[in-house]
Amino acid sequence: MARQQSKQTSEEMLICTSKHHWIAQINFKAEVRSNYFITVRRVSLTCKFPCVALPNPMISTNEE
């Protein structure tokens, strides 16, 4: 069985109030090992306005 090679990726997600208005941006770098295993290496959160209050981000893992 051939081992699948991992792939580095950098993605961006926007938190929006409507289709054209975003209030926060989440950037993350991850390593995709397979369809089921993704390792997130770095996460950053940028708010568009200083008055935007977002809850503390939580990252949960399902490690055994």
pTM given for the model: 0.47
The pLDDT score that the predictor gives to residue 50 is 67
pLDDT of 14 over the 80 cut: no
Distance CA 9, CA 4 (A): 15
**Which one has a higher pLDDT value, 53 or 26?**
26
For the stretch 25-48, pLDDT in tens is: 888 888 888 777 878 788 887 777
Distance CA 46, CA 12 (A): 11
Burial class from Cβ neighbours inside 10 Å (0-12, 13-18, 19+) for residue 28 reads middle
The pLDDT score that the predictor gives to residue 35 is 75
**Which one has a higher pLDDT value, 52 or 29?**
29
